Chain A
Amino acid sequence: MLIDPEVVGRARTGDSQAFNQIVQACRKPILGTIRRLIGNPDDVEDVAQEVFVRVYYSLDQLRSDEGFEPWLYRLTVNAAYDYLRRKRRRHESRMSDLGEDQVTLAEAAEGTKKSADAVRKTKARELVESLLSNVSDQDRMLLLLKEVEGLSLKELERVYQVKENALKVRLFRARQRVLKAFEGRGSSVEEKSVEKKKEGDQ
């Protein structure tokens, strides 16, 4: 997602064509980021459009044309966070979406339509979603930006506008929680298999 600062500059002056250029260049990666941040494929386009509406109306607040990408990420994270907050207020838990995934997983496992690779990916998706359910929405987003989107600490610093050390501390804590859940999950699977083995022996 490389945007020419000159295009950003023109968009800032109200050039619709330049704004369209930005949308064309950024919409796909933004859709992907939002999909991973909110975990619900149905509302991805809505949230992405909200991001671009915010971009359109706040371009004049952008300090420099070069800082466009971190700023866009910041708007994306904020829009995704707002969405999750609204969703929580509506008492829609993410579990219902996971349920959908589980159905897909079951279909994939039962039927032979999907390949083993698809099943592995679905499992990875479900596992990450369940691991991330152990951290707050903010930490979930931070971890996803770092571990999945591949943003560096410097880039995250510009997105969140906080000091690198503060980010490190936050990431450390979030990683610890996720790791704990991951290890706990492993032990619970082991316990279950031991129990099953015992039942089988009896």
Chain B
Amino acid sequence: MNEFPRELQEVFRSYREAMPDPEPSVNFTPVLWEKIEARRSSFTIMRRLTHGLVSLATAAALVLGVFVIPQVQNRRALSTSYAEVVAEEGNSAQEIATAFAAPLTPVTGVPAQ
């Protein structure tokens, strides 16, 4: 169906006649400009808000990078195991292994007086 039957086409034609283009009111253009300006100021507020948020986020990232992260890294030493701390202090894995693997010899002699 590429078009309506004639009767229905006539109905739509009458509808078009019954709904002519209305005349705009005297205030149409002034009110339009008011709306444009209002939208502009809301855009400006949004832009300022976005700039503020971006600045805040940058500052927060800097604070995190300069102060917080090094502190967290230092605190890591407290949560690491003894073996890890020893390893970090320069002992080789071999030394650690030897220290742990060395058999405990009972003290047989009487300390010299």
Contact = CB atoms under 8 A, between A and B. Distances in A.
- Which of B5, B8, B20, B31 has the most A CB atoms < 10 Å from its CB? B8
The secondary-structure label for the interface of chain A is helix
B82 interface: no
A172 B4 CA distance: 10
A145 B15 CA distance: 13
B107 interface: no
Interface residues of A, number: 37
Interface in B1-23: 1-5, 8-9, 11-12, 14-23
Interface of A: 20, 23-24, 27-29, 31-32, 35-36, 41, 44-45, 48-50, 52-53, 56-57, 120-122, 124-125, 127-128, 131, 147-148, 168, 172, 175-176, 178-179, 182
Given A57-B39, A148-B16, 16 more contacts: A24-B29, A28-B24, A31-B22, A31-B24, A32-B20, A36-B16, A41-B22, A52-B32, A53-B35, A128-B11, A131-B11, A147-B12, A175-B1, A176-B1, A179-B4, A182-B8
